[in-house]
Amino acid sequence: MKFLLTSITLLSLCVTLRAQETPAVKPATDGRVWGALIFATNDAAQLTGGREQPPPNLPKLNERLGKVFPFKHFEILGQHQQDIFREFESWVVPSQDLFLKIDSKGPADQGGVNLHLQVWREQQVLVKSDAVLRAGSPLFIGGPAWKSGRLIFVLSLDRK
Amino acid sequence: MKPPSEDHDLIRWLDGEMNATEHAAFETRLKTDPALANEAQVLRALSVGIRSHLPADMTVPHADFFNSQIQVRIGQLEIDNERAQATAAPGDLLRWLRQPWLTAAGAVALAVLGLVLLRPIAETSANSFILSSYTPKIGVQAHAFHDEAADATVLMLDGLDAIPADRKVSGIHVKHSETEPQLAATTLYDVAGGRLLMISRDATGLPLIWSNSPRG
């Protein structure tokens, strides 16, 4: 059964790939987010050597992470800027190991956007959450331990 | 006049914080002090009523919750005292404060205050906040709080299985994406326009990823 479902999905995606050759109408959005997978550790030797920087609207990110998580070093492993689609799910995938599915529930009353979030680790959903995300106020998600540190997912709403 | 320590003992008795010796001593006093026994009965009934309307587990909404709750409670007591002083003669004050209905009203006010404080983090502020969270896997817990120093909202997941140290965890750097809404398929591209991966869901809702690069 699962093989059949996967086959159908693959077939659909092949059609999609061909359809992408023609311009499509851009779906309506409720904002745009920056998502990143960050490795936190006290052992500098374990860092991968990445030099990625957070966006300018998220200043002093490492310093802020250090207020919450007891680590000295924070390294961006991957990052992804993604539109939040109003009527369709949005994926924020800075890594295949830990990624996020977002469903918009519309603008929040006093700014920001209402979201349903799902944090996935491969094929396992770690947490489902309803949240209000506002610009300038990032969400830090403390994920699984790795090596002698921890993986952290950061989600931030861009200012319009 | 009732010494303050007795009130404290009554609260500790209600909260089940006494050890066996203290509990036995207080039970003896209840039998010999009808006024105290009556007050204890009223408070216990009220406590049971309130607890029956509250969830069994309520997470602390932010790190300073207890401090802020204490500050609010102190402020409330000060207001109560000012009102009492303004409306009662000094000699009547303590008798008035000891009225069971006042104690009950205070407890109800505290319960309401608690519910207000236990609402999700600062809905009226400019902060992001978590409304609810659910962890499907047994043993995994999520708790949310706002960290003022970091100026960030935190959703901490505890109890997750660690990723093996020899497992390579790598990231990608997505510059832009294209989505096919009808199939809920999203293709991610790097800064050079190269296709990084495509993600979609199967019919059961599980994510499917097709990537150009092999995983570690």
Question: Does any domain span residue B168?
Answer: no
Residues B191 and B141 in one domain: no
| Nearest chain B residue to A64, by CA | B150
Model pLDDT, residue A16: 47
Q: Which residues contact B125 (CB under 8 A, 6 or more apart)?
A: none
Question: Does any domain span residue A66?
Answer: yes
Residues B63 and B110 in one domain: yes
Q: What is the mean pLDDT of residues B41-53?
A: 70
Question: Does any domain span residue A12?
Answer: no
Residues B90 and B50 in one domain: yes
Residues B20 and B112 in one domain: yes
Domain containing A57: what range? 26-157
Residues B110 and B133 in one domain: no
Question: Does any domain span residue A1?
Answer: no
Residues B12 and B80 in one domain: yes
Backbone angles phi, psi at B176, to 5 degrees: -155, 170
Residues B35 and B105 in one domain: yes
Question: Does any domain span residue B171?
Answer: no
Q: Is B122 exposed, middle or buried (0-12, 13-18, 19+ CB in 10 A)?
A: middle
- Cβ–Cβ contacts within 10 Å for residue B108, how many? 13
Token pair 């509250």 is found at: B54
* Total of domains in chain A: 1
Say whether residue A22 is in contact with chain B using an 8 A CB cutoff: no
Rounded Cα distance between B74 and B77, Å, is 5
Which tokens hold the place of B171?
């990231």
Question: Does any domain span residue A140?
Answer: yes
Domain containing B39: what range? 4-117
DSSP state string for B153-194: EEEEEESPPPBPTTS---B-EE-EEEEEGGGTEEEEE-TTS-
Model pLDDT, residue A4: 53
Q: Are B99 and B35 in contact, with CB atoms under 8 Å apart?
A: no
Residues B10 and B79 in one domain: yes
Q: Are strands B176-180 and B173-174 parallel, antiparallel or unpaired?
A: unpaired
Q: What is the mean pLDDT of residues A39-55?
A: 92
Question: Does any domain span residue A7?
Answer: no
Question: Does any domain span residue A21?
Answer: no
Mutate to test the interface with B, among A93, A120, A155 (most CBs of B within 10 A): A93
Residues A94, B171: C-beta atoms closer than 8 Å:
yes
Radius of gyration of chain A from its Cα atoms, rounded to whole angstroms: 17
Dihedral sign for Cα atoms in the order B88, B93, B98, B103? positive
Rounded Cα distance between B52 and B112, Å, is 14
- Closest by Cα among B21, B4, B22, B5 to B13: B22
Question: Does any domain span residue B167?
Answer: no
Euclidean distance between the first and final Cα of chain A, in Å?
Answer: 45
Q: Are A129 and A112 in contact, with CB atoms under 8 Å apart?
A: no
Residues of B in contact with A77 (CB under 8 A): 169-171
**Could you read off the pLDDT of A49-64 as tens digits, one per residue?**
888 899 999 999 999 9
Question: Does any domain span residue A13?
Answer: no
Residues B22 and B78 in one domain: yes
Longest dimension (CA), chain A: 49
Question: Does any domain span residue B35?
Answer: yes
Q: How many helices (H) and strands (E) does chain B have?
A: 6, 8
Residues B14 and B79 in one domain: yes
Q: Which residues contact B5 (CB under 8 A, 6 or more apart)?
A: none
**A78-92, B85-99, B185-199: which range is least confident on average?**
B85-99
Question: Does any domain span residue B14?
Answer: yes
Model pLDDT, residue B72: 45
Model pLDDT, residue B84: 60
**Could you read off the pLDDT of A125-156 as tens digits, one per residue?**
999 999 999 999 999 999 999 999 999 999 99
Residues B106 and B198 in one domain: no
Residues A144, B188: C-beta atoms closer than 8 Å:
no
Contact residues, A window 37-76, toward B, CB-based 8 Å cutoff: 37, 39, 48, 50, 52, 64-65, 67-68, 76
Model pLDDT, residue A149: 96
Question: Does any domain span residue A17?
Answer: no
Which residue type is seen at A43? D
Which tokens hold the place of B23?
């509990």
Rounded Cα distance between A64 and B115, Å, is 30
Residues B14 and B94 in one domain: yes
Say whether residue A29 is in contact with chain B using an 8 A CB cutoff: no
* Total of domains in chain B: 3
> B22 to each of A24, B5, B27, B29, B89, how far by Cα in Å?
75, 13, 9, 11, 35
